[in-house]
Chains A and B, each alone.
Chain A
Amino acid sequence: MSMVIDEAPAGGPAPEAPIEAFTVTLIIRRFDPDTDTEPRWQDFDVEMFATDRILDALHKIKWEQDGSLTFRRSCAHGICGSDAMRINGRNRLACKTLIKDLDISKPIYVEAIKGLPLEKDLIVDMDPFFESFREVQPFLQSNSAPPKDKERIQSVADRARFDDTTKCILCAACTSSCPVFWTDGQYFGPAAIVNAHRFIFDSRDDAAQTRLDILNDKEGVWRCRTTFNCTDACPRGIQVTQAIAEVKQAIMRGKP
Chain B
Amino acid sequence: MATTIESPRTPYSVPRKRGVNWEKWGWIYMRASGVLLIILIFGHLFVNLLLGEGIKGIDFGFVAGKWANPFWQVWDLLMLWLAFIHGGNGMRTIVNDYATRPLTRKILLGAILFSVVAEIVLGTVVIFAFDPCPAGSPADLLPSFCPVNQ
Contact = CB atoms under 8 A, between A and B. Distances in A.
B24 A183 contact: no
Contact of A223 (B12, B23, B28, B100): B23
A222 B14 contact: no
A252 interface: yes
Interface in A201-234: 207, 210, 213-214, 216-218, 220, 222-223, 225
Given A141-B11, A213-B14, A213-B16, A179 B23 contact: no
Interface string A230-249: 00000000000000000010
A248 B31 CA distance: 13
A225 B11 CA distance: 33
A208 B27 CA distance: 22
A5 to B, nearest CB: 61
Nearest to B27: A222
B17 A217 contact: yes
Contact of B14 (A179, A214, A223, A225): A214
Interface in B56-80: none
A145 to B, nearest CB: 13
Contact of B97 (A179, A207, A222): A179
A252 B28 contact: yes
A47 interface: no
Contacts of B16: 213
Nearest to A213: B14
B21 A216 contact: yes
B145 interface: no
A216 B24 CA distance: 7
A225 B97 contact: yes
B28 A180 contact: no
A184 interface: yes
Nearest to B17: A217
A217 B13 CA distance: 15
A225 B23 contact: no
A255 B149 CA distance: 67
A251 interface: yes
Contacts of A214: 14
Interface in B1-52: 11-14, 16-17, 21-24, 26-28
A117 to B, nearest CB: 15
Given A216-B24, A222-B24, A252-B28, A183 B98 contact: yes
Interface of B: 11-14, 16-17, 21-24, 26-28, 93, 96-98, 100
20 contacts: A137-B12, A141-B11, A180-B97, A183-B96, A183-B100, A184-B96, A184-B97, A210-B12, A210-B13, A213-B16, A216-B21, A216-B24, A217-B17, A217-B23, A222-B27, A223-B23, A225-B93, A225-B97, A248-B27, A252-B28
What 6 pairs across the A-B complex have the smallest Cβ distances? A222-B23, A222-B27, A218-B23, A213-B14, A214-B14, A183-B97
